[in-house]
Chain A
């Protein structure tokens, strides 16, 4: 037997940076494939025409003026959380506490509305809410950052645990403030007086979050790319030792960045409670604190790319739930579709970073 060094069918090679249109093309292809697979699966399992399915996806997100507004509002919220988490991630600080930071921001906003609603004028209440939400979010970010900076504790665990504390606090205060007694829900706060409701701009109840998201996107883009602090964040993220060597105070950067990250999450809590739901529940963040991690990473921490990632996730999400409503399918079905789509989107990142090199025919013949 001849000893033969067998070459595998293919191997994986890291790509050089791809030109933007190619990487965009790969992503586009991934979404297309995901949609085709979703269509096939839907047709096989339910017998529904796949064209109808695609149409429902689009109509679910943009079927009416109201749906379009809601879609953009949801994009704004997800985008804002992703933007808030990004400076921390860029610093290689694993802030998976977005959920808790949003919740605690929402909780103090609700607290201000409930406790100050009939004592102070509306404008003052709203001011209190803004300050309190930003501060509460910042504190929720500060605690893990402080422990990380001082004693190098594991921030993945501590930010995660802070989520549970926030959820339990909300659950506790839900019982304290429940109306009517025993019902386990707070309901719309100040429904008749509208005290503490964030103002509608240009007569639209959906626009505020969108405007805030646009402003924060631009701010974050400039902050990360063109400011000294943004540069410090990058250096700390690349190598703490380098940062120390060039005289950056790493502890200070960690704490400062997490204060910012937490405060922005608190801002989202404020928007959710004061601007959108006008109540607080343990599920008000709806897991978006975690989805935002995905958005941030998928976009490689680029705020502008995040706009598209958030759009994609919300679009598919709303489309999938429209499918489940329109065709009388179970809600879990839309989760399956969302899962397939996310699988492809995340999977395509692999092909953007690496390429498969197949065994060449010529080499094979030589042997």
Chain B
């Protein structure tokens, strides 16, 4: 009997120590464990931790999916890199749906002591706003959102990047590949048709495929493009089917704006060149991968975290560029045409210098006419009321922080054919 009591006491003591021990360093474990996972999934750019360390900030990150989604992995890596560089503690919450759960997750992070909270998915925005109202002392940032400039909250911010620059450069890679195929006699000039798998007929997607197309057309004038939509940001089967449909429809090169590996793997199977998004897919698709553009979120995270540390306000809208290192192209794949690297470098220099603009109105037409003027729906409302003139100085001002960081280019230009648009 005595023995039993002793062992029981010992077990209880053990449990209590474990509880107490974990209670205090729970959050720290969270950060490091998540970091380990991110590190194993992709070797992100490791920077020296010394020198730039800040204090007094604990960051919380909310992700729609986990590292299996290229979209979220891109954010995860950026978050990890920025936090390690600045030497701050951070927590992550993955697989947070675009509903009340996003609000709960943000509040839980705030309760856990985070004073900078970031959410990565478009549909999180409204719920993050709710949390921001409840925690006025915590800074909230949201990627791709549209409401920060109209919501009037000091602690809610939007961020995005001029990813259309990256798409444009990726389009040049695609155009060079098409030129090579024409020169080799694989296709004729008229057969230079690209395919694009989009998620929704949403401005972010339309801006993306249009800039990609304009990039391709800047080097391959005869190119046309078919676009199809899956009605989901992440649906591997639908994306694969969509890519197959485009290939059957005569598309000789595919790109996509949807987050799974569906389209790249379909292209690898069919042997069709693919321009990827959010990160290189070369490992899975060595024969067909051309290039990938992505937003590097590390500069924004560093900027925002430093703002919180210094107590300076974070910009309501923040748009990263090629210059800030926010817009990046991956290494070129083995399948690219000769001279691609040089062409991309030249175009990139011109974009940075402001010599060329992606949406230069002399490079495209809408219903056969030049787009001299366009009113975009900048201030989100249920009736989609156009409210700001965004064409000036000869180009369409996309993601201009004078308006908002999230894309609003939703013009349907000539040369691009939408196969379906029910989404």
Chain A positions near chain B (C-beta within 8 angstroms): 49, 51-52, 55, 59, 64, 66-67, 70, 114, 171, 175, 177, 179-185, 187-188, 191, 276-279, 281, 283-284, 321, 324-331
Contacts and interface: CB of A to CB of B under 8 A. Distances in A.
B382 A179 contact: yes
Contacts of A328: 30, 33-38, 92
A278 B384 CA distance: 20
8 contacts: A175-B423, A181-B384, A182-B201, A182-B206, A184-B199, A281-B99, A328-B34, A328-B35
Contacts of B99: 277, 279, 281, 283-284
B204 to A, nearest CB: 8
B410 interface: yes
A38 B1 CA distance: 31
Interface stretch (B118-126, B163-171, B297-305, B313-321): B118-126
Contacts, number: 110
Given A326-B30, A330-B66, A330-B68, A180 B95 contact: no
9 tightest Cβ-Cβ pairs between the two chains A and B: A182-B202, A188-B126, A328-B37, A328-B33, A328-B34, A331-B95, A182-B201, A184-B200, A51-B18
Interface stretch (B104-112, B175-183, B283-291): B104-112
Interface residues of B, number: 56
B271 interface: no
Contacts of A51: 14-15, 18
Nearest to B35: A328
Contacts of B108: 64, 66-67
B34 to A, nearest CB: 4
A72 B22 CA distance: 24
A171 B95 CA distance: 21
Contacts of A183: 122-123, 200, 202
B26 to A, nearest CB: 7
B111 A327 contact: no
Interface of B: 14-15, 18-19, 22, 26, 29-30, 33-38, 66-68, 92-95, 97-100, 104, 107-108, 111-112, 122-123, 125-127, 129-130, 146, 199-203, 205-206, 231-233, 377, 380-382, 384, 410, 422-423
Contacts of B26: 59, 326
A324 B96 CA distance: 12
Contacts of B68: 330
A180 to B, nearest CB: 5
B98 A175 contact: no
Given A183-B122, A277-B99, A326 B202 contact: no
Contact of B205 (A67, A182, A191, A278): A182
Given A52-B22, A55-B19, A179 B381 contact: yes
Nearest to A184: B200
Nearest to B203: A182
Contact of A52 (B18, B35, B67): B18
Given A179-B380, A330-B66, A185 B203 contact: no
Contacts of A277: 99-100
A171 B422 CA distance: 11
Contacts of A281: 98-99
Interface centre among B94, B146, B203 (most CB of A within 10 A): B94
Contacts of A276: 100
B382 A325 contact: no
B127 A325 contact: no
Contacts of A331: 66, 94-95
Contact of B123 (A175, A185, A326): A185
A66 B123 contact: no
- Residue with the highest number of chain B CB atoms closer than 10 Å, among A114, A171, A191: A191
Nearest to A276: B100
Given A180-B203, A184-B231, A70 B104 contact: yes
A180 B407 CA distance: 11
Interface centre among A51, A175, A179, A181 (most CB of B within 10 A): A181
A277 B97 CA distance: 11
A325 B30 contact: yes
Contacts of B206: 182
A321 B92 CA distance: 13
A162 to B, nearest CB: 22
